[in-house]
Each structure stands twice: as structure tokens, then as C-alpha cells.
Chains A and B, each alone.
Chain A
Amino acid sequence: MVEEIGKTAEGDLIINVGPQHPATHGVLHLVITLNGETIKKVEPHLGYIHRSIEKMCESLTYRQFIYSTSRMDYLSAHINNHACALTVEKGLGIEIPARAQVIRVLMDELTRIASHELWWGAMAMDLGAFTPFFHAFRERESINDIMEETCGARLTMNYMVPGGVMMDLHPNFQNRVKTFLKLYKLKIHEYDELVTGNIIFQNRMKGVGYLSKEAAISYGVTGPAARGSGVSCDVRKLYPYEIYHQLQFDEILETEGDSFARYMVRLREMNESIKIIEQLIDNIPDGDFQAKTKAVLKLPKGEFYQLVETARGELGVYIVSEGGTTPYRIKFRSPGFSNLSCLDHITRGGKIGDLIASMGTLDLVIPDIDR
């Protein structure tokens, strides 16, 4: 019962955050019930950027549908394409050449760094620090330039196709990646000096937005958000795909479960991605970049599910095939969707000022949630 506009019967205040709010990074609409400054309830309203990608994919062929997935989590476009390509390959039962596998992993890890860079800059900006945004974009731009040269696009690459990658690497690729690695190592300590060690920043992050291990599992939280609570859930380690089982890297785990733990996981994960790139950049095997596939792909009757670790967590692609050229039903289990479901749990009982810190460390990308 609403007695007064914007107030509940108990006298609690209802405020809207979004759909046009700089801290929601897109068109997320939160309806927050407040008692004074204390949050009583956070209710997400979704669908402002719902395009029904799953329905569209039902009328697209297995070569076409991959392009729409770049528009889901546009910061992990490569990894989304990768997941779809792997699912189709699983259905067709084809092996892809070693060169294509290495290129895919390299691109995935570059994407992961670019995505975490953007998150880091935006996160600091949400908390009122403007400078880190420019620092993050300085490094991110050089990754985007590398992508542009090889894939022809900076954000929605559509580079991975069933059977391998669309075209071979640009001749400059190795040199530019090495230059980027050098630049990155020179600059990474600035991230800690500028933000991580800042006492104001730490006070705003520590003990805020606590997510226990049990809650993280129950809510289906994955990716860095869950690893901050000590849940081992890195798909690259648990269910390795491509060549991840041959690579040396660590799964970053923190046990505190607060916003600062999630922040540290992402920051340290960037260094692991750098490790992977260093192992591969001088060892790109020669050979084909694409396996020979038929012009029209037909998946056999059955169900195929592939898990992939994106920058945000576990992306699952579930294809139900009836044997035709288009999927009968396709479902994208997007990491953002499940991570959002714990937002009410971690912010309830906290202060409204802490909402942004908690939400920022979940790293929500709204087109990924709405699909």
C-alpha cells in the first residue's frame, strides 16, 4: 500500500537508481527501499536493452548466430565468440589446428586484460577518483589497437568462427603485443600506488558488500566475484578447453568475500593473463588458422553445452539441435545475470553510499544480463 508518493506504508523511502545513472554502467534500473540511509531492499528491473538474442538465433545459421553474441558482453566479445565456436565444433566433432588454438587463447587473454582495465578505471571513477580512468584507458587503447589491426574491429570483433579464426594474424601482431607487455609492466605498479594503497579507497571497500562462500554458490555467482569469496570456479582450471591445461597460471583466490577481495582478485588476474600471453607469444605454431569445414554447417540431433571463462565468470552456451542448419533452441547462461541475483543479498542492511562499491566490484555489463 502506497500512502504517499515514493514512500511505503511503513514510511520507508523508495528511490530509483537508473536506468540512466552513471554508476550502473548501462541501463540497469534499481528500485531501492530505504530506511533512513539503510538499504532494506534492492530490486533490479531489467529489460531496457533486451533484444531477445536467443529468439533471433533460432532463425540464424550456425555461422551467423555468433555475430549476435559479440553484442552480449561487449567487453568480452572474443570470449563470447569463442564459446559459441567451441559449442558448434563440439557438435560437429572437428579438431581445430594448433595455430588457431593458440591465437584464440592469446586473444581471449588480451580481451580479459582489456576488460579488467576498463572495470578498474570505471570502478575508481564510481568512487570519485577520476584520474585512474585515464591510466586504465592508456593501456586498454594499445590492446584495442592490436585487435583493430588483426580483427578489423575494436570492440565487437567477430574474429572466432567455427573451425578456427576468421583470418591470419597481422604481421605486426607479435611485435605489438611485446611492446604492450613492456608498457604494461612499466605501468602496473601505478595502479597499486594510485588506488589500491589509498587509505580512503580501502576504507570504502573493506568490509562492504560481504558475500559468503555458501551464498556465492547458492546464488550461482561465478568469476572473480565468486573467487573473492574463496569459491574455486575458474573454468580454465576446472574444465579446461583449448590449450589451457598446458599453460602455467594460477587461479586467484581471496577469502574475505568483501568488495576489496573482489577488487584484488581482478587486479591480480591481469598478471596471470600476462603470464599466459608471455608463454605463448613466441610459440605460435605455423600452419592453418582454420580447419576445413563445409559451407553450410549442420549439427547432428542432440544437445551441446560448452563452458567458457569470460572476464566476468562462467559463460555457458546450450544448443539444442534437431539436425537442421539453425539451432532449435539456444540458451546463453550469462555470468552477469547470476552475479546480479546476489546484489540484493550483499547490499541489504548496508548503507546507500556503499551500494556503488558493492555493485562496482560485481562488474555488471547490462547487455550481458538482458541479452
Chain B
Amino acid sequence: MSNEEIKLVISELLPTASFEEAGEWLNIGIEAADWKDAAQKLRNCAAAPFNFLFCLTCVDWKTHFTMVYHLRSTTTLDNIVVKVKLDRTNPEVMTVCDIWRGAELFEREVYDLFGVIFLEHPDLRRLLLTDDWVGYPLRKDYEDPINMIKL
């Protein structure tokens, strides 16, 4: 399907979603409160079930966080990008690891490096860093005088 066709399908499915043209794939903006419900609908979308979460990450925009979910439908081979804006002082969003099982490790990584809290995640612990690490390294305001090399 072309981006326009996907847009039609998804605007019917999620009336509150906003759309943005950025990059080659359709970008869909969803409110953090609606995300869990929307994720379930996208996963079960009849025209193109987005059953494959191939990338999950976060971007620190200094004023807010944006969670970026890259989804693919393995039947129609369409890709979409879902963006969920989070408050920077209290970043919280519902987990999706019961919908896409692969999200479990991705979400632990984002928690580890950005400090985003995934509500109802079964095992939210640090993944790459040690348990007693202070701070979240991929945040833009993170400072570490010993380990960080500035060029």
C-alpha cells in the first residue's frame, strides 16, 4: 500500500492520531495515554496487521522525549513509524511487550539509557549498565567526567 492508503486505513482505526510526512514511511503521532489501546488495534488491523516491531527507541529533544516504534506488517510488507511524546520530568508509558514479545528487551534498554518508565513491564531492570549506575547516559544533559570523551 502507498503511504496515502495506509493513512486512510489508520485514520479510520485511530481517529485521534495525527500524521506527519517525515522520511520515507508514514509517521503517526499518538498520545501516551492512548498508546496501549492503539497498539492493540494496529496489531489486529484487518487490512495490514502490524505484527512485527522491528525497532523501538527513544529520542531526547531536551524539552520532551519521543518514543519511536517502527512497525511492519509481514503480510503486506508495509512499514509505519509511531511516535509517542512523553513528558521529560516524568516519562511514563504503557509497555507493549505483551503485544510484541520482542519489545521486552528493547524497553529494558530504553529504561536503562533514557530512564523511561514502562508501566506494567514484567521485569524492568537495567540491561546494559550495572545496577548501581547513576543517571541515564543517552539523555542530552548527561555528564560523566571520567568515562565520556568529548571531541
Contacts and interface: CB of A to CB of B under 8 A. Distances in A.
Interface stretch (B3-11, B33-41, B48-56): B48-56
A218 B51 contact: yes
Contact of A217 (B23, B52, B109): B52
Contacts of B94: none
Interface in A307-349: 314, 316, 318, 320, 328-329, 331, 333, 337-338, 340-342, 345
Nearest to B43: A218
A304 B25 CA distance: 10
A231 B53 CA distance: 14
Interface residues of B, number: 35
Contact of A220 (B57, B77, B102, B128): B102
B151 A47 contact: no
Interface stretch (A12-20, A51-59, A97-105): A51-59
A59 B151 contact: yes
Main secondary structure of the interface of A (DSSP, over half): mixed
A17 B142 CA distance: 33
A238 B149 CA distance: 39
B128 A329 contact: no
B101 A219 contact: yes
A166 B55 CA distance: 30
A331 B57 contact: yes
B89 interface: no
Interface string B11-54: 00000000000111100000000000000000000000001111
A328 B24 CA distance: 19
B102 A370 contact: no
Interface of B: 22-25, 51-55, 57, 59-60, 68, 70, 74, 77, 81, 100-102, 104-106, 109, 113, 127-130, 137-138, 148-151
21 contacts: A47-B130, A52-B137, A52-B138, A54-B138, A59-B151, A218-B51, A218-B101, A219-B101, A219-B102, A220-B53, A220-B101, A305-B81, A316-B70, A320-B59, A331-B57, A333-B70, A337-B106, A337-B109, A338-B54, A341-B104, A370-B128
3 closest Cβ pairs, A-B complex: A220-B102, A47-B128, A333-B55
